[in-house]
Amino acid sequence: KQEVTQIPAALSVPEGENLVLNCSFTDSAIYNLQWFRQDPGKGLTSLLLIQSSQREQTSGRLNASLDKSSGRSTLYIAASQPGDSATYLCAVSGGTTDSWGKLQFGAGTQVVVTP
């Protein structure tokens, strides 16, 4: 059974520092990996999706890497801002036809960026 772990559960950084969020998974047979942002009382917003054949994806200040063989992904957020304060979740999609789209989530990392 796939297990997804995010460490740390929470972190606080001063504005301007780079954020590094970690995600690990136990089964390397994945279809894709997604990073989401969740604001308090809100739904999830997709940030980046990395296909299993890719090593990284970038969008603006965000960069996500994927190392399938070691079961790890890292989300980098450059030059953090107070508006980046949120919970960040990673999720993996299974590698078999009947498990595509069925996401297995980590518990998330709660981020606070202090002015």
Partner 1 sequence: NAGVTQTPKFQVLKTGQSMTLQCAQDMNHNSMYWYRQDPGMGLRLIYYSASEGTTDKGEVPNGYNVSRLNKREFSLRLESAAPSQTSVYFCASRGQGNQPQHFGDGTRLSIL
User: What's the closest the beta carbon of residue 98 comes to partner 1, in angstroms?
Assistant: 8
User: What's the closest the beta carbon of residue 62 comes to partner 1, in angstroms?
Assistant: 14
Nearer to partner 1, 14 or 34 (CB): 34
Nearer to partner 1, 32 or 80 (CB): 32
Nearer to partner 1, 51 or 81 (CB): 51
CA dist 95 and 62 (Å) reads 25
CA dist 49 and 91 (Å) reads 10
User: What's the closest the beta carbon of residue 63 comes to partner 1, in angstroms?
Assistant: 17
DSSP string covering 80-104:
--GGG-EEEEEEEEESSGGGTT-EE
Interaction site with partner 1 (CB under 8 A): 4, 31-32, 34, 36, 42-46, 49, 51, 89, 91, 101-108
